Amino acid sequence: MNALQRNALVWLTAPGWGRVLANDWDAQALGILRHWALMALPLVVCRQRVENFPPTISLGLPAPSVWDRRKLALEVKPVEVDRVGRFPSFEQLEQFEQLGSCEAFTVAIHEIRSNAPGFEGSIQVYGSFGWETLTGMSYVRLSSDLDLRVEVPDHEMAAAVSRALNALQLPMRVDGELAFPDGSAIAWREYLQWVEGKVDRMLVKSRTSIGFIE
């Protein structure tokens, strides 16, 4: 369980939710957490604290619009995690009727799938579109970006993905990150600037830290 990487999804056990709900929360936070527990919704793995002992897992809960898009931070024990998963793929989002009514989203997904063959199977959608799919609650706004997490095996593929995404003419902004096998991740726009020599360093996020590489 200690190997959980950023942006993985976890579902808690009933005892895990019981302990979380027993903590000292304000009324709004407690209402959010009770809904999450009742509906068995996932939490997202955040950057981890390496100094924690006994070890815990740092998780996040970005609430939907009905709760003012509030973000909660939680710490749970490894034994309180029931299962682990991932954010939705393109195929899963296309089956979600509520997102299908968003024309810009439909066009963007079609263009990415049509013009970026070879890596679409490694793409997960997080952010507003991912959370709306997972919860069925309102996250997406007219100004929402499409946040992609693209798993890449090496820097050659990372460069190809960045160039392909940058070349697309889409009706909405596409952001997100390239995720490498070692768990590190880099924003694809920043990676493209680095590849093209426009910047001499880029921000890298790992499971436990944030730093720069040159």
**Mean per-residue pLDDT, 150-154:** 92
Query: Is the per-residue pLDDT at 184 higher than 90?
Result: yes
Q: Which of 93-97, 113-117, 160-164 has the highest mean pLDDT?
A: 160-164
CB contact at 8 A, 133 and 110? no
CA distances from residue 63 to 60, 130, 137, 138, 144 in whole angstroms, order as listed: 10, 12, 9, 9, 15
In whole angstroms, what is the distance from residue 175 CA to residue 116 CA?
A: 15
Query: pLDDT tens digits, residue range 31-87?
Result: 999 999 999 999 999 999 877 667 899 999 999 999 999 999 999 999 999 999 999
pLDDT band at 118 (very low <50, low <70, confident <90, very high): low
Neighbours of 211 (CB within 10 A): 10
Q: How confident is the model at residue 149 (pLDDT cuts 50, 70, 90)?
A: very high
Distance CA(9)–CA(44), nearest Å, equals: 5
Domains of the chain: 9-85 (no CATH), 90-213 (3.30.460)
Please state, as a whole number, how many other Cβ atoms lie within 10 Å of the Cβ of residue 192. Answer: 21
How many angstroms separate the Cα of 152 from the Cα of each of 35, 114, 129, 165, 179? 35, 19, 21, 14, 6
Q: Between these two residues, 196 and 53, which has the higher pLDDT value?
A: 196
- As beta bridge partners, residue 170 has none
At residue 201, does pLDDT exceed 60?
yes
> In the prediction, which pLDDT does 10 show?
98
Is 43:60 a contact under the CB 8 Å cutoff? yes
pLDDT at residue 2 tops 60: no
Provide, rounded to the nearest whole percent, the portion of the chain with pLDDT above 70: 92
Sheet bearing 210-213, strands edge to edge = 123-126, 146-151, 174-179, 185-187, 202-205, 210-213
Look up the pTM and report it.
0.91
Q: Tell me what the mean pLDDT of segment 128-133 comes to.
A: 92
Residue 107 pLDDT grade (very low, low, confident, very high; cuts 50, 70, 90): confident
Q: What is residue 110's predicted lDDT score, i.e. its pLDDT?
A: 81
- Confidence band, pLDDT 50/70/90 cuts, at residue 182: very high
pLDDT of res. 156: 92
